[in-house]
Amino acid sequence: MAGIEEILVHFVESELLNKDTRIVLTPDFPLLEGGVIDSVSLQRLVAFIEDEFDISVSDEYMEPASFSSIGSITKLVSTLRE
């Protein structure tokens, strides 16, 4: 099975990035500041995370720092899976 980070990168690249975008998603690429995630795509991302990893992202984790990069989202998912 693919790792959390790999699954997240695949989702963001295939579902959230504009097909013409030439962004290379590294663990620390700024998703919010880089314009990859907006309010609508954040909702899609959270729904994907909850379904894919069978977790619930509560309001306490719905802060910009939790979704600022692939690395921060990977950490969030790992924490919620414990």
Instruction: Name the residue among 72, 82, 81, 80 with its Cα closest to residue 8.
Output: 72
pLDDT of residue 23: 85
pLDDT above 60 for 1: no
Average pLDDT over residues 59-68: 94
Give residue limits of the domains in the chain.
4-81
Looking at per-residue pLDDT, the higher value among 68 and 19 belongs to: 68
Q: CATH topology for 4-81?
A: 1.10.1200
State the SS3 of the chain. Answer: CCCHHHHHHHHHHHHHCCCCCCCCCCCCCCCCCCCCCCHHHHHHHHHHHHHHHCCCCCHHHCCHHHHCCHHHHHHHHHHHHC
Nearest to 61 by CA among 80, 37, 45, 34: 80
Confidence band (pLDDT; 50, 70, 90) for 21? Answer: confident
